[in-house]
Structure 1
């Protein structure tokens, strides 16, 4: 079946949430995503400045999704690839490569200097990205710190709330030392 690529729209959120849940619930990640959590993550990213997202369709069915955002650093623009997901039974068929190739062409038109993604060394995604020309940036590390839940914590989301009930992320702080 022919693959069609197009920009993601708000009308895609339910189908994309199902896809994200299915992709992350499958081996090797086996994560406990719900459709609600996936939809919330998608909506948060769709509201970021510089958001870009694309879906891959076979007929009317969304079989892949790619989301991320443009970022400015000094005189350059980078793209942070947040997620690239393909339905588990459709993985290894070229859908992810097609989405990534489409993204790269879009980024060239926008004069983006670099595309980056974060993944674990043990994941199958690591091998996929390396086969697509990504290289490990040895001088960078990822640091994390667990934050204990607050008194009013229900789902761990950090939001500033909105009148329409959709969560929006708080602005990121930049640390300078």
Structure 2
């Protein structure tokens, strides 16, 4: 297994996994067009940073996000982390997240921020990695 920096041309490699995960496991309605646009939007941001996990044959997973400047620190915002269904529950997601944390810390990030679905699976995964619900921030939304 290898973990390398992801590039724009890698988007086509991850689309089948992205569609499978979000449509089959999360009940989404993504298409190759909308998923490709989502990933391209993140990768085109200033200071984007993404990793791709591969074995000898296939792409196993990926993580995408970007560095965000605050007044006195730089944080890293993790937008997506996905492990292919057939490779889940083997510790690979934890390995990818750990490697991402190591690399963004080396690049100057003081923290990793993310938004996650509020369910048991996500709470267990992120909790095991040491992530906690922020007490000083609440997500706000206004639907139209």
Per the normalisation by structure 1, the TM-score is 0.77
**In structure 2, C-alpha distance between the alignment counterparts of 1:94 and 1:104, rounded to whole Å:** 15
Per the normalisation by structure 2, the TM-score is 0.94
Structure exhibiting the larger radius of gyration computed from Cα positions: 1
Q: Map Cα deviations across residues 43-69 of structure 1 (whole Å, 9 max, x no partner).
A: 111100010000100113111010000
Matches for 1:132-143 after TM superposition, within 5 Å: 132-143=129-140
**In structure 2, C-alpha distance between the alignment counterparts of 1:75 and 1:39, rounded to whole Å:** 33
From the two aligned structures, give the one with the greater helix fraction: 2
Segments ≥4 residues shifted beyond 2 Å? none
Change in Cα spacing, 1:144 to 1:23, as seen in structure 2 (3 Å) is same
Query: Equivalent residue of 2:68, what SS?
Result: strand
Q: Map Cα deviations across residues 41-94 of structure 1 (whole Å, 9 max, x no partner).
A: 111111000100001001131110100000001010001000000111211112
Counterpart of 2:2 in structure 1 is 4
Gaps of 5+ in 2: none
RMSD: 1.2
Counterpart of 1:92 in structure 2 is 89
Gaps of 5+ in 1: 148-177
Counterpart of 2:77 in structure 1 is 80
1:112 aligns with 2:109: yes
**In structure 2, C-alpha distance between the alignment counterparts of 1:11 and 1:56, rounded to whole Å:** 15
